[in-house]
A = this chain, B = another copy of it.
């Protein structure tokens, strides 16, 4: 068949495809080798070990983010675009997403998003230190959201009627949970994410450390309101 010379890229690609097809638990060196029609140990000529392979997967997925950053656009729109770009790859590689967020990435692939985000926050009026902190909060939100979104979706198939709902909550002990159980069970991930992004944008907009603002006295309010 394909006498293609077997490269790290091919191995990583096979791993990604395997993960998306059968889940992260299905990944094993033997499985990937079989997928490529190749001996197990041949993989080790291109990849030092399994962990490095998975890092390669994370990096490859991350590097597929499409950043069409327009420095001239309103900073709120830039934030929206960048947040959605992250979510888009999570949708394209749902089973790989957990892998990406579980391992911190120290590579150029993970750096470009950071660069773009920092530039956006600077344009929103933050100085360096605050831009970094705001960025970290935003990343935390995005990562947490995606993790929930993919974590709740391990098996697309069943309507999930397992031992969760039968234990209908005791209204006396958990009145709020009981009253809102319909909302808590439902999952409009798209809507939840957009809601969160708008909330974060608003939080950034009213942050007291911003220099030039929406000039709606938001920063003045923030200053007066927030001081401990």
Contacts and interface: CB of A to CB of B under 8 A. Distances in A.
Interface stretch (A30-38, A39-47, A211-219): A211-219
A65 to B, nearest CB: 15
Given A106-B164, A176-B115, A140 B145 contact: yes
Interface residues of A, number: 67
B180 A206 contact: no
B177 A136 contact: no
A115 B174 contact: yes
Contact of A132 (B119, B139, B180): B180
A137 interface: yes
Interface stretch (A5-13, A15-23, A194-202): A194-202
Contacts of A202: 203, 206-207, 222, 225-226
Contacts of A145: 136-137, 140, 144
A58 interface: no
A131 interface: yes
A221 interface: yes
Contacts of A183: 128-129, 132
22 contacts: A104-B152, A106-B163, A106-B164, A112-B174, A115-B173, A115-B176, A118-B176, A119-B176, A128-B183, A129-B183, A133-B196, A140-B142, A140-B148, A143-B143, A199-B203, A200-B203, A202-B225, A203-B203, A214-B225, A216-B224, A217-B221, A218-B221
